[in-house]
Amino acid sequence: MATTIKLLLTAFFWGGTFIAGRILAAEVGPFSGAFLRFLVAAASLAFFLGLREGLRPPRGRGDVLRLILMGMTGVFLYNVFFLLGLKEIEAGRAAVLIANNPIGIALGAALFFGERMNAGKIAGILISVSGAVIVITRGDPIAGLRGGFGRGEACILLCVVSWVAYSLVGKQAMGRLSPLAAVTWSAAAGALGLLPFALLEGVHAAARYSAAAWGSILYLGLCGTTIGFLWYCEGIQTIGPVRAGLFINFVPVFAVLLAALLLSEPLTASLLAGAGLVTAGVFLTTRASR
């Protein structure tokens, strides 16, 4: 029971990152926001890593390279595109599009690692992509041909590409490192990569950020990254990756509901239909991948 509650809260926290990101993007530049998020996350993750495994930096050249690549893709690029996208489009729409991450990972694993594509995976991918098209075009696919696909949607889809790269590199890195160590050191690498860009953007003025911006940074760093990661890994260890992974399907649901409640974003028919199709597609693909 405790594990189920933690996994539901993890999905809730991850859904809330889209609301926090939307608030942060309205005030803070993408490099500064991403850097501060992962400065908080790397520090708190390092604390737990020190308690559980000890702070021993990886020494192998291959391990270091993989961690840097993870930092540049899943931390640097993902979060810059995340904040750029949320500056342009609604949090609920962004959450539904990013919910296609498992679809991209399944395709990447088939392309680069030769993992088999079966009927369940193909059906799930087609269903999920159709849901994304409905969300992007707001239920009017012809509008996409007339300019309905904007910079915000492009940035969010680039988030998916960045996360796929992070996940595929991470799959190799976690063959030699624990998940906690891999995430901690890649978060630190990403934060270091973001630092010079954040300085150029004016992160030194962070003391003048509003309470809402700082609250969003702390939420993203602690709840959206550290606590979410620790509880999700704990769930995998307790009930296994198949059952724990199913809780990820709640993320876009929580995001859409929170966006409507806290940001007054409309619950349109196209958004709800797209969210349902994406969630169903991800569920089918995930089950078929097991």
pLDDT at residue 148, rounded to an integer: 61
H or E element at residue 155: helix 151-173
Contact in structure between 95 and 256 (CB atoms under 8 Å)? yes
Token pair of 80 as six digits: 């810059």
Contact in structure between 66 and 172 (CB atoms under 8 Å)? yes
Residue 58 zone, left/alpha/beta (φ > 0; ψ -120 to 50; rest): beta
Question: What DSSP designation does 74 have?
Answer: I
Rounded to the nearest 10 degrees, how much is the dihedral formed by the CA atoms of 9, 10, 16, 20?
120
pLDDT at residue 289, rounded to an integer: 65
Token pair of 90 as six digits: 């609604």
> Where do we find the tokens 């942060």?
24
178 by DSSP, 3-state: which?
coil
pLDDT at residue 106, rounded to an integer: 83
CA pair distance 40, 218, nearest whole angstrom: 7
Q: What share of the chain is helix, strand, coil (3-state, %, to 5)?
A: 85, 0, 15
Contact in structure between 94 and 272 (CB atoms under 8 Å)? no
pLDDT at residue 125, rounded to an integer: 85
Contact in structure between 147 and 84 (CB atoms under 8 Å)? no
Q: Tell me the domain boundaries of the chain.
A: 2-289
pLDDT at residue 175, rounded to an integer: 81
Look up the pTM and report it. Answer: 0.91
pLDDT at residue 242, rounded to an integer: 64
> ∠ at Cα 160 (158, 161), nearest 5°?
65
pLDDT at residue 143, rounded to an integer: 60
CA pair distance 52, 16, nearest whole angstrom: 27
Per-residue pLDDT 10s for the chain (290 aa) are 688 899 999 999 999 999 999 999 999 999 999 999 999 999 999 999 999 998 888 888 889 999 999 999 999 999 999 999 999 999 999 999 998 888 888 888 888 878 788 888 888 888 988 888 888 787 777 665 555 668 899 999 999 999 999 989 988 888 888 999 999 999 999 999 999 999 999 999 999 999 999 999 999 999 999 999 999 888 877 877 667 777 888 899 899 999 999 999 998 888 898 889 888 888 888 777 66
pLDDT at residue 124, rounded to an integer: 84
pLDDT at residue 68, rounded to an integer: 95
Contact in structure between 96 and 251 (CB atoms under 8 Å)? no
